[in-house]
Amino acid sequence: MTKKNDNDNDHPYCIGEEVAMSLGFTEDTKKSLINTLTNELKVLRAKVGITQQELADRLGVSRQTYGMIENKTQDMNWSQYLALTFLFRNNDDTAKILEWTGAYTPELERYLKLHEEFANHSSVIKVKKDNSD
């Protein structure tokens, strides 16, 4: 059994480690998706037609940090992976590349939809709880 991070349940929009693992999202799966995306970053960025600085600004990191991620001298984290995936999924050309390379999978899509449903459900519960006082 894997040890849960003490903060796993602290975030109100977290679907939980058990659900993520049931969808096949182990740490190894996440690392694999991150590595696949990292290998395609230069091509994806070129297809969108933006500079490293522009992409770094959208990602909320310095240009130097983004450059190190793109050049594979620094690993991106899962949040950065998701942010980049959302950016590239909104462009027809890069969305196709994500799918062809396996950087965006049907399992990831299910994971994200479930995560979104959980977040929406959690916010409704929180609003109801706040209004019940």
Q: What is the pLDDT along the chain (133 residues), one digit of tens a residue?
A: 333 333 333 444 454 566 666 666 788 888 999 999 999 999 999 999 999 999 999 999 999 999 999 999 999 998 899 999 999 999 998 999 999 999 998 888 888 887 777 767 655 444 444 555 5
Q: What angle do CA 93, 35, 72 make, to 5 degrees?
A: 100
Report the pLDDT value the prediction gives residue 108, as an integer from 0 to 100.
85
What does pTM read for this prediction? 0.73
Report the pLDDT value the prediction gives residue 6, as an integer from 0 to 100.
39
How far is residue 3 CA from its own chain's centroid?
22
Q: 44 with 34: CB under 8 angstroms?
A: no
Which CATH number describes the domain made up of 18-131?
Answer: 1.10.260
Alpha-helical runs (H) found in 49-90? 52-59, 63-70, 78-89
Report the pLDDT value the prediction gives residue 127, as an integer from 0 to 100.
45
Q: DSSP class of residue 74?
A: S
